[in-house]
Chains A and B, each alone.
Chain A
């Protein structure tokens, strides 16, 4: 079973601060995705990283995939109240016969206080 440990579990910060969320595993993943989920809704894909060492930026969000493809981080610069939500990392791995499964971390619940 592929496991993803996400930290911190909860994060409460003031508007304008920076933060980093971590996603770690002892397993190698073919790709890693970050989702954001708001209350009463399903998760929404933010980004997919595929190559070890890959860095992707989405406005104030920076995503990095570890060189060994076992870990990832999400950095938010100058957090805004609109960034509030549950951030989930998910690792994709082959389950055989050309199919893949996703395993999710338990999430980081971020609250940005105005």
Chain B
């Protein structure tokens, strides 16, 4: 079956702009999580959505937001971009059965560069 699909794969923005990233999970997976990956900090948890509700949230400022639709597709938005937001943004989906053991299936990521 198809894997996790993230769009766009690459994008360049300037400071102050906003960006929206999209994620389509594996069919049947209802949990979608977002992570930010940078060389210095590694993978840091942004938030997790399950059945259109935000279930968990990491320690990121309010400029980072997300949502999940009824078909489990998810979007994340970053407003008022800063240089430090340059990173690889990874989306991961999980089935309900797998989540208790934290098994995630990742997309290839969206690489955001802020100039």
Contacts and interface: CB of A to CB of B under 8 A. Distances in A.
A42 B109 contact: yes
A48 B90 CA distance: 20
Given A101-B45, A104-B43, A42 B100 contact: no
B64 to A, nearest CB: 16
Contacts, number: 71
Interface in A26-48: 30-31, 33, 35, 40-45, 48
Nearest to A101: B56
B42 A100 contact: no
A106 interface: yes
A99 B56 contact: yes
A107 B60 CA distance: 21
Nearest to B59: A1
A92 B35 CA distance: 15
Contact of B101 (A30, A35, A103, A106): A30
A31 B92 contact: no
Contact of A99 (B43, B99, B109): B99
A104 B42 contact: yes
B102 A102 contact: yes
A105 interface: yes
Nearest to A97: B55
B103 A48 contact: yes
Interface string A16-32: 00000000000000110
B108 to A, nearest CB: 5
Interface of A: 1, 30-31, 33, 35, 40-45, 48, 50, 88, 90-92, 95, 97, 99-107
